[in-house]
Structure 1
Amino acid sequence: MQTTIAQMIALTSWGNALLQGRIAQSSDFYPGNSTFQFCAEVAFYALDPATGNWPSQPLARDPLAWLQQQADAGVDKLSLSYWPSGHTAEHTTSDRMAVGFVGGGGRWLLLTHFADGVDVWEARWEVGERQRADRKIWQVRYGQIARRVSAPASEVLALPKLRALLANQLTALTTFASEQKELGFAKTFARALDDLNTAAARLESSDLTPPGALNLPAQQLLAATETAWVFGGMGSWNDVGFAGAEYDSYCQLSDELFVLLTQALVLVANHNADFPRKAQKAWWQFWKSAAATPA
């Protein structure tokens, strides 16, 4: 899975856990989370609503400062939303094929929920200093692209239904890849299918969500999604070539898998988003000695 997506999942899941008082050690999230490993900057900006321009100064210079601001402003919860690109005469590449490129593959949006609507945030990733010894080459900026709008209707399936559909899709892809002698990918799809039923979920990104955030079915879904995410550049499932009827089957099976996996990631990110907030000392007091630098 691309880090651009993984980071938004982490922001949503860990952000909700912090808001709800379910975790007390903020440094486990930032800067400790693996999705920030190669980021020199993760800042938050309020874009000019008239022009869409980025201001010179951020609202918050890191995720912890931003979360504190959101809590002060009365945020109820965070949620992740995925908006497919749609296909027009100008946009003919499928999201499944485009996801391997920065900024491609549909729009992943972070929503902050208030009593009177949601604010919408979208990330922009840019390469900074390529030769850094610590490999922190990415400048990540989240822009507030809409304020207090109606929350989009959720089209994510319920977890049991999504698991069943994903199992069927992985079975079909395992068979297809085996028939086409793509044995490496056949093993990958079979392993993802096994992940859906493994008693102890085999998560590749153990810190994508906080400890205890996911029940076992959600952990299994995440593990299967991580394994089955074969979309990228050279050497990925997107790079495999077929012709004729096999190509048509490949496209249909792959595009349907991509849709199911994006839904699975949204479901995982938003799992426990409505957990009741604890009545206790303000959650951001844990951050007074943390690395957060308020804007």
Structure 2
Amino acid sequence: MQGEIDQLLVLSSAVNAIAQKEPLRLPAAQAKRLRHTEDLTFVDLCKKNDGTVKEQIRFTKLSHWLEDLCNRKVSAAWLVWQPQHETTPSEQTTETYIQPEHMKVAFAGATKSWSLIATGPDFTEHWQSSWGQASWGLQDDREKQQNIWQVRYDCIQKTDQETPRPTIDLAQEIARLDKVLRAMTTLAGQLDHGNWPAVFNKTIDALEGKKGTALPPAIRPPYYAAYSKDAHRLLAAIYSGWVFGGMGSWNDVFFPNPEDQANYDRLTPELYQSLCRAIMAISCSFQRP
């Protein structure tokens, strides 16, 4: 899974654990998932009468943000994915082309679609950056510090009411993902290079919960036992089937046959969207084990 989305899932799990009265800390194995970041910064954004935005740093440590949510009796957290409009082939011109999100997601800070919702008795907060996601930037002294990212979350919207956590059918998301994965496996079989059919078959095996396909402990979200067996299968499939990256990824694949290429152009966004919907569903399925 892409690192920024992975971090959001870690954060939502930690907040949900607090809501379930779990210890106010990330287990050591999951805390290491933040090793490439400095302490996270959490910032309030307030729009002023003249239209400008005032920024006020609320917390500069993850533990302080979690403690504040605990003190305010947070009841739930989940992730929201709101995809941007993408131009279809018939709409594309040099001036109007918008790069598909499944291609932009290969770069840190490049997408604007994800946010984390935290809610409690008298509040609902939407956390993302002013650009729509965590603000990720490189440090100049990254080699010296061993922490290469500076990550900031902005509270872009807040209300004084609690918001019910959405209920999403995990079985429906499994079926949706299974369908597109089988189509991708057939399509990948038309290639005369690479091991893409094996990649998609392995992902289907994970989705079916076959032996040896469970998500390794090192990359499980915190409080893994609080997720259902269906969520475990989805998680394993998401990490196995996340084929969107830079050079050498599925994003770089090209089919010489026009019909195959058309299927690639249609199915690749479908796979990405199915994976994103599955991640949202998983974040909504946290329960006390």
Same fold? TM cut 0.5: yes
> Alpha carbons of 1:25 and 1:144: their partners in 2 closer, same or farther (altered >3 Å)?
closer
Assess if the C-alpha contact under 8 Å between 1:42 and 1:142 holds in 2: yes
In 2, the alpha carbon distance for the partners of 1:73 and 1:18 equals 11
SS of the residue 2:221 aligns to = coil
Assess if the C-alpha contact under 8 Å between 1:43 and 1:60 holds in 2: yes
> Alpha carbons of 1:253 and 1:137: their partners in 2 closer, same or farther (altered >3 Å)?
same
1:218 equivalenced with 2:231 (yes/no) = yes
Assess if the C-alpha contact under 8 Å between 2:135 and 2:151 holds in 1: yes
In 1, the alpha carbon distance for the partners of 2:72 and 2:24 equals 22
In 2, the alpha carbon distance for the partners of 1:53 and 1:189 equals 47
Question: How far does the alpha carbon of each residue in 1:215-238 deviate from its partner, in whole angstroms, 9 at most, with x for none?
Answer: 222111100111100001111100
Assess if the C-alpha contact under 8 Å between 2:137 and 2:149 holds in 1: yes
> Alpha carbons of 1:214 and 1:105: their partners in 2 closer, same or farther (altered >3 Å)?
same
Matched with 2:169 is: 158
Assess if the C-alpha contact under 8 Å between 1:8 and 1:80 holds in 2: yes
> Alpha carbons of 1:98 and 1:266: their partners in 2 closer, same or farther (altered >3 Å)?
same
> Alpha carbons of 1:191 and 1:4: their partners in 2 closer, same or farther (altered >3 Å)?
same
Assess if the C-alpha contact under 8 Å between 2:82 and 2:114 holds in 1: yes
1:175 equivalenced with 2:186 (yes/no) = yes
Assess if the C-alpha contact under 8 Å between 1:10 and 1:269 holds in 2: no
Say which of 133, 142, 156 aligns to 2:153.
142
In 2, the alpha carbon distance for the partners of 1:181 and 1:33 equals 41
Question: How far does the alpha carbon of each residue in 1:176-195 deviate from its partner, in whole angstroms, 9 at most, with x for none?
Answer: 11112244111110100000
Assess if the C-alpha contact under 8 Å between 1:13 and 1:270 holds in 2: no
1:101 equivalenced with 2:100 (yes/no) = no
Query: Which one-letter code corresponds to 1:235 in the other structure?
Result: G
Which runs of 5 or more structure 1 residues have no equivalent in the other structure?
277-295
Deviation at residue 74 of structure 1 after TM alignment: 3.9
Matched with 1:281 is: none
Deviation at residue 70 of structure 1 after TM alignment: 1.8
1:260 equivalenced with 2:274 (yes/no) = yes
Question: How far does the alpha carbon of each residue in 1:223-272 deviate from its partner, in whole angstroms, 9 at most, with x for none?
Answer: 01111000011111001123522221001111110110001111122222
Compare 251-260 and 192-201 and name the one that shifted more: 192-201
1:202 equivalenced with 2:214 (yes/no) = yes
TM-score for both structures, normalised by structure 2: 0.84
SS of the residue 2:55 aligns to = coil
In 2, the alpha carbon distance for the partners of 1:160 and 1:140 equals 34
SS of the residue 2:225 aligns to = coil
- After TM superposition, list the pairs within 5 Å mapping 1:1-295 onto structure 2: 1-21=1-21, 23-24=22-23, 26-28=25-27, 33-50=31-48, 51-55=52-56, 58-87=57-86, 90=96, 92-115=98-121, 118-122=124-128, 123-133=134-144, 135-148=146-159, 158-197=169-208, 198-199=210-211, 201-204=213-216, 205-243=218-256, 244-272=258-286, 275=288
> Alpha carbons of 1:153 and 1:25: their partners in 2 closer, same or farther (altered >3 Å)?
closer
Which runs of 5 or more structure 2 residues have no equivalent in the other structure?
88-94, 129-133
Matched with 1:285 is: none
Percent identity over paired residues: 27
Deviation at residue 149 of structure 1 after TM alignment: 8.0
Question: How far does the alpha carbon of each residue in 1:62-106 deviate from its partner, in whole angstroms, 9 at most, with x for none?
Answer: 222101112323432111111101136756211112111223344
Question: How far does the alpha carbon of each residue in 1:14-47 deviate from its partner, in whole angstroms, 9 at most, with x for none?
Answer: 22112211x3361426x95232011122111112
Query: Which one-letter code corresponds to 1:160 in the other structure?
Result: A
Query: Which one-letter code corresponds to 1:226 in the other structure?
Result: Y
Of the two structures, which has the highest relative contact order with CA contacts closer than 8 Å and spacing of 6 or more?
Answer: 1
Assess if the C-alpha contact under 8 Å between 1:80 and 1:110 holds in 2: yes
Compare 133-142 and 2-11 and name the one that shifted more: 133-142
Query: Which one-letter code corresponds to 1:230 in the other structure?
Result: V
SS of the residue 1:39 aligns to = coil
> Alpha carbons of 1:27 and 1:220: their partners in 2 closer, same or farther (altered >3 Å)?
closer
> Alpha carbons of 1:27 and 1:14: their partners in 2 closer, same or farther (altered >3 Å)?
closer
Deviation at residue 133 of structure 1 after TM alignment: 3.8
> Alpha carbons of 1:254 and 1:135: their partners in 2 closer, same or farther (altered >3 Å)?
same
